[in-house]
Structure 1
Amino acid sequence: MFEFGWPLIFLLLPLPWLVRRFAPPAQNRPAALQVAFMSRLQAVQPEPAEPGVRRTPWVFLLIWLLLLSAAARPQLLGDPLPMEVTGRDMMLAIDLSGSMEFRDMQFDGDEVDRLSLVKQVVGQFIDRRHGDRMGLILFGSQAFVQAPLTHDRNSVRKWLDEAFIGLAGRQTAIGDAIGLAIKRLEQQPAERRVLLLITDGANNAGRISAVQAARLAAERQIRIFTIGIGAETQQPPANTSAWLTPERDPSVELDEGTLKEIALLTGGEYFRARDSESFEAINQQLDRLEPALHEGRTQRQSLPLYPWPLGIALLLSMALTGWYRRSNVA
């Protein structure tokens, strides 16, 4: 099916006539060169123009019409194609504090740091969210938006892969990350607002506490799903009490109580990621809680046709220029 994408462009059709009709005439400037035989030159009668020269305005009108046709985006529309969409707007808030470099995670049999595991598993989660708009917040001592809400999931994953520990400082401003997500989500419809918060520590930086920020999110109907990162606490050896250190207790800084309260206040859920298997199980559960596909719409493939009228207008302009030059030489 043929159609013009911007048909209102044709309202400019009378523009050349309006300019000619209402624009002030050009000012005649005095001659810059004075010659002694000017009176004799003025007495010479100009030769009448060739009849064909006065019959060319239609060519200019045709060129103008072709230019407008190109600007109106002519296109051929193909058959309707189903497009899976969802109205879900999901922000991801990823912790980049210093403790995320702790190597207590296992991925494919190798020992990796927490951030590396998050990149792998959350990256796969992003790839599965067909039709969702995803955004990315990175936080440490401060929080900032690395990617606004977008359907371009490949770019969101790329920006996540390029993140590194300490990029936003080495502390943990959970409250600021939630507050920043509120600013990005509060303008969206209430049923679409979701924040996935991933951290391995406790709120120890920022201008607002995590619980206060969660209450604000609850007022704006933003659901927050929290994921706490950290391996299981090891059992203490016999006859010693000096075992509660990061080496023996990798999750000593994880504030599970606050993360559970954040999820409870906002109608979300709290999950604990102890390794790659439990993290993947969390992703599958999130897919069930927040389904990625819930409605469909159609989209048509389009073939742009603007080069044709644009090319014809160019050829006519070149032919008209050459014809005028030959007429003047003759």
Structure 2
Amino acid sequence: MLELSWPWFLLLLPLPFIMYFLPQTKPRGDGIWWGSSTELLSKHDTTTTVKRPTLHYVCLLLSWVLLVLAISQPVWLGEPTKVTPSGRDLLIALDLSGSMQVSDMALNDQPANRLEAAKSVLSDFIQARRGDRIGIIVFGSKAYLQAPLSFDTKTINQLVQETQIGFAGEQTAIGDAIGLGIKRLEDKPSDKKVLILMTDGANTAGRVQPQQAASFAASQNVKIHTIGIGADSMVVQSFFGPKAINPSSDLDETLLKNIAAQTGGEYFRAKSTEDLQSIYQTLDALEPTPTEDIWQRPLNSLFHWLGLGSMIFFALALLSSKHIAWNNRFKKDVTRKGDQA
């Protein structure tokens, strides 16, 4: 269904025809382009034969019509879809520090780093949480809001997939991520505020201490589920040959357990992609709070398409104008040479 945000702009559509019937004035000088267009748009003498509209004239009219339609802000309303909100506000804090590039995970039997595995599992989780308002926080040396709370899970998922390691810095500010999550969840009903914190390290940056942030979260009834990601063992090549190491030696499990326990959440350990999938299936089973269904209709603006079409027809009018001028000049030159002969 098509709707116009500013339909009164359509009153400008007949403006070229009004100009057509205005009294004709004699130009003082030759114009580069407008001379030919005014000739086509001006009123012809009653004794002359009416000419068929030229390409130049048609392009100008189409350009004007598309421009007026674009200014009127047309939008296409899609089919209404029903959303059953659970009433739960769910924030996901995703670690983008440098250590997330460690390739101790697997996707489709191929080595993958921790962020790639996290994004793959998060994609399925977000799509399954239709009806919840989901937001994304990314953190490294600092914490940033990647996506505010929204029912638009498709856009949220796209923003998650666009995240890259190092976007927020190389270190890990767990306390700042929790603090930002509390701020974004304030003024929400106390039984619907959940923060999922995923990290592979310890708090090494930020102005807020994680324990202080957790205490404040508990006072604000924000439940925090924590996920420690990273394998226990990994084989790397050294000078003396293959060597087994623990790539998760920097993971502060004690801190993550305390944060979860202090806020009424749970701590999960993800040593593989399969573990992550199982964890998010558990989190997906959070009991939703039933509320009334709401209906949404997607809005698609047509402004840029109409504006582009107007520019194209205007460019064609300019080209046809120059073509007419060149033809006229050629005819005059031929006539002049004939007279001289």
TM range (shorter): 0.5 to 0.7
Tell me the equivalent position of 1:294.
290
> Could you say if the C-alpha distance between residues 98 and 81 of structure 1 is closer, same or farther in structure 2, counting changes exceeding 3 Å?
closer
Q: Return the alpha-carbon distance in structure 2 between the equivalents of residues 146 and 119 of structure 1.
A: 14
- Report deviation, 1:233: 3.6
Deviation per residue, 1:151-199 (Å, 9 max, x gap): 1111111111111111010000000000000000011111110000000
Deviation per residue, 1:93-141 (Å, 9 max, x gap): 0000000000000122111000000100011100100110011100000
Tell me the equivalent position of 1:262.
259
User: Does the 8 A contact of 1:130 with 1:293 survive in 2?
Assistant: no
Gapped regions of structure 2 (runs ≥ 5)? 1-78, 299-341
Tell me the equivalent position of 1:155.
155
What SS does the aligned partner of 2:164 have?
Answer: coil
Tell me the equivalent position of 1:94.
94
User: Does the 8 A contact of 2:90 with 2:135 survive in 1?
Assistant: yes
Larger radius of gyration: 1
User: Does the 8 A contact of 1:82 with 1:296 survive in 2?
Assistant: no
> Could you say if the C-alpha distance between residues 219 and 233 of structure 1 is closer, same or farther in structure 2, counting changes exceeding 3 Å?
same
- Report deviation, 1:297: 2.3
Q: Return the alpha-carbon distance in structure 1 between the equivalents of residues 296 and 150 of structure 2.
A: 21
Query: How many aligned residue pairs are there?
Result: 214
For normalisation by structure 2, the TM-score amounts to 0.59
Tell me the equivalent position of 2:248.
251
Task: Note the 1:58-73 alignment, pairs <5 A.
Answer: none
For normalisation by structure 1, the TM-score amounts to 0.61
Q: Percent identity?
A: 47
Task: Note the 1:108-127 alignment, pairs <5 A.
Answer: 108-127=108-127
Q: Return the alpha-carbon distance in structure 2 between the equivalents of residues 200 and 162 of structure 1.
A: 20
> Could you say if the C-alpha distance between residues 284 and 224 of structure 1 is closer, same or farther in structure 2, counting changes exceeding 3 Å?
same
Q: Return the alpha-carbon distance in structure 1 between the equivalents of residues 269 and 83 of structure 2.
A: 34
> Could you say if the C-alpha distance between residues 252 and 183 of structure 1 is closer, same or farther in structure 2, counting changes exceeding 3 Å?
same
> Could you say if the C-alpha distance between residues 250 and 187 of structure 1 is closer, same or farther in structure 2, counting changes exceeding 3 Å?
same
User: Does the 8 A contact of 1:84 with 1:293 survive in 2?
Assistant: no
Task: Note the 1:222-233 alignment, pairs <5 A.
Answer: 222-233=222-233
Q: Return the alpha-carbon distance in structure 2 between the equivalents of residues 301 and 212 of structure 1.
A: 42
User: Does the 8 A contact of 1:138 with 1:168 survive in 2?
Assistant: yes
User: Does the 8 A contact of 2:104 with 2:234 survive in 1?
Assistant: no
Tell me the equivalent position of 1:282.
279
- Report deviation, 1:83: 3.8
> Could you say if the C-alpha distance between residues 294 and 206 of structure 1 is closer, same or farther in structure 2, counting changes exceeding 3 Å?
same
- Report deviation, 1:292: 4.8
> Could you say if the C-alpha distance between residues 109 and 301 of structure 1 is closer, same or farther in structure 2, counting changes exceeding 3 Å?
closer
CA RMSD, aligned part only? 2.4
Tell me the equivalent position of 1:220.
220
Q: Return the alpha-carbon distance in structure 1 between the equivalents of residues 208 and 83 of structure 2.
A: 41
Q: Return the alpha-carbon distance in structure 2 between the equivalents of residues 301 and 142 of structure 1.
A: 36
Tell me the equivalent position of 1:182.
182
- Report deviation, 1:84: 1.7
Q: Return the alpha-carbon distance in structure 2 between the equivalents of residues 179 and 276 of structure 1.
A: 28
User: Does the 8 A contact of 1:103 with 1:111 survive in 2?
Assistant: yes
What SS does the aligned partner of 1:284 have?
Answer: helix
Deviation per residue, 1:40-83 (Å, 9 max, x gap): xxxxxxxxxxxxxxxxxxxxxxxxxxxxxxxxxxxxxx9x9864
| Amino acid of the structure 2 residue aligned with 1:265 | Q
Task: Note the 1:47-58 alignment, pairs <5 A.
Answer: none
Q: Return the alpha-carbon distance in structure 2 between the equivalents of residues 251 and 260 of structure 1.
A: 16
| Amino acid of the structure 2 residue aligned with 1:95 | D
> Could you say if the C-alpha distance between residues 274 and 96 of structure 1 is closer, same or farther in structure 2, counting changes exceeding 3 Å?
same
Tell me the equivalent position of 2:201.
201
| Amino acid of the structure 1 residue aligned with 2:266 | E
> Could you say if the C-alpha distance between residues 104 and 135 of structure 1 is closer, same or farther in structure 2, counting changes exceeding 3 Å?
same
- Report deviation, 1:284: 1.1
Q: Return the alpha-carbon distance in structure 2 between the equivalents of residues 116 and 301 of structure 1.
A: 33
Q: Return the alpha-carbon distance in structure 1 between the equivalents of residues 289 and 83 of structure 2.
A: 10
Q: Return the alpha-carbon distance in structure 1 between the equivalents of residues 189 and 88 of structure 2.
A: 9
Q: Return the alpha-carbon distance in structure 2 between the equivalents of residues 83 and 253 of structure 1.
A: 42
What SS does the aligned partner of 1:85 have?
Answer: coil
User: Does the 8 A contact of 1:101 with 1:113 survive in 2?
Assistant: yes
User: Does the 8 A contact of 1:101 with 1:114 survive in 2?
Assistant: yes
User: Does the 8 A contact of 2:141 with 2:168 survive in 1?
Assistant: yes
Deviation per residue, 1:232-264 (Å, 9 max, x gap): 2469xxxxxx9xx9x611110100000000000
